[in-house]
Amino acid sequence: MAKAQTALSPHNASQNNKSIVNRIPASASDTIEWWVAAYFEVEVTTAASSRKVQRRDLELFVRFAAEVEGVAERALWSPRLTRAFQNYLRSSAIDDAGRKRGDRTVSRILAHVKTFARWVHRVRPFPLGDPVEKIKLPRVGNGLEVERALTEAERRRLLDAGDLLLSTGGRSRDRLRYKNTDERPIRRGYRAARNRAIIYALIETGMRRAAIVNLDLADVDFKRRAINVREKGGACHSYHISRDGLSAIRDYIEREQADDNAKWNSPALFLSPATNAHGDGRLAVRVVNEVWNEVCRIACVEGKSPHAARHAMGRFIMDKTGNVAAVQRQLGHKNAAYSLQYARITADELCNALDER
């Protein structure tokens, strides 16, 4: 789908809808394609990766509307057209790239179409009313996969392994060269305190990997024991952290952060070593994965990603408080339904409960 000309200049997404209407030229094309372009120009504020997915989903709907109606005009978008698109997604199991289109994909596409349609309806109402008002998203089961959360034993082992990095992490792997020495030297550029602090930050807050790399030193509030991070879509969220987690971050700052920042002069909290020749000092998500995988090997934890720590935090707060709002506050869920899913139990827990009857 070619990019439509909106004749709108970028502005803040929170601007009044009436103002948006006034800025739409009377001669502007009233096609759905035009409105998609306007939507991304004046309303969408998510990250580039999310925008790419949203645009692809909306372009799919535009092509469908043009095919069944002959032209994708806004005035022709009715509840029946949306229902036909929903049926098309369900009946067409293969997408344009030859991949199987599952329930999660269908739910995502419809969610993007619904959000877009409601925005258009607020700005310029559809002749036949909101075309997505009665559309229900398909139920996709337990999207959070609570079975993938860290167990309490895995959490303990990972934190213990993180502590071990200070004494054993980064040792040279050349056993032949250093076979006659009691301790192999630490690899140049290895940052044990930083890696330990990353593990603690993931486990003791429940933040995402991307938040780790976006963290600035100024985001850490040692008095309130809170870390303010920029999450998906640029939204800010404040995570509370345990005393042990905050202590690990403070230890890293005192041991390593200042020396590396002498080179980078970066606001980032977690920095690349000063020995790196390239970059701006801020870590890549890939580095967070490498740190996590290293500690998992030491702790003998298999099949758990950094996101498993987020699930574990949700389950811990739910078990401790029984309060969905507490989970929502810590993890920053906009929709309480995501927080509520942490009340579910795993298959093993269910079996144990049945055996105890």
The answer to whether the beta carbons of residues 202 and 312 sit under 8 Å apart is no
Task: Provide the 10 A C-beta neighbour count for residue 66.
Answer: 16
% the chain with pLDDT above 70: 82
- Judge whether residue 136 has pLDDT over 80: no
Model confidence band, residue 254 (pLDDT cutoffs 50, 70, 90) = very high
Q: Kindly state the tokens that stand for 100.
A: 């199987």
CB count, 10 Å around CB of 300?
10
What was the pLDDT predicted at 269? 96
Q: What is the reported pLDDT for 301?
A: 96
All residues at 6 or more sequence positions from 240 whose CB lies less than 8 Å from its CB, including other chains: 205, 224, 225, 226, 330
Cα gap 202→270, rounded to integer Å: 13
Residue 101: exposure state from Cβ atoms within 10 A (0-12, 13-18, ≥19): middle
Whether the per-residue pLDDT at 11 is higher than 60: the answer is no
Asked whether residue 129 carries a pLDDT value surpassing 70, the answer given is: yes
**What are the pLDDT digits (tens) for 91-104?**
765 555 556 667 77
pLDDT band at 138 (very low <50, low <70, confident <90, very high): low
d(CA 294, CA 313): 21
The pLDDT, as a whole number, for residue 28 is 57
Beta bridge partners of 45: none
Residue spans per domain, the chain: 17-123, 154-309
pLDDT at 144 over 80: no
Nearest to 248, CA basis, from 302, 294, 212, 300? 212
Residue burial 318-353, b: 16+ Cβ < 10 Å; e: rest: beeeeebeebbbbbbbeeeebbebbeeeeeeeeeee
pLDDT at residue 199 in the model? 98
Q: What pLDDT is stored for residue 208 in this prediction?
A: 92
pLDDT over threshold 70, residue 8:
no
Instruction: Note whether 103 and 26 are within 8 A (CB).
Output: no
pLDDT digits over 60-93, tens only? 999 999 998 888 899 899 999 999 998 888 776 5
Range name among 13-22, 38-47, 236-245, 286-295 with the lowest pLDDT average: 13-22
Which of the listed ranges 90-99, 171-180, 183-192, 216-225 does the model predict with the highest average pLDDT? 216-225
23: helix, coil or strand?
coil
Can you name the CATH fold of 154-309? hpI Integrase; Chain A (1.10.443)
Under a CB-based contact definition with an 8 Å cutoff, are residues 92 and 67 in contact? no
> DSSP readout, 245-306?
HHHHHHHHIIIIIHHHHHHH--SBSSB--TT--SS-SBPPHHHHHHHHHHHHHHHT--S--T
Tokens of 29: 């094309």
Q: Does pLDDT of 115 surpass 60?
A: yes
pLDDT digits (tens, 9 = 90+) for 291-333: 999 999 999 999 999 999 999 999 999 889 888 889 989 998 8
Q: Which pLDDT value is given to residue 133?
A: 86
Q: Which two tokens stand for residue 95?
A: 């997408």
Report the SS3 class of residue 187: coil
Residue percentage of the chain with pLDDT more than 90: 49
What pLDDT shows up at residue 230?
Answer: 82
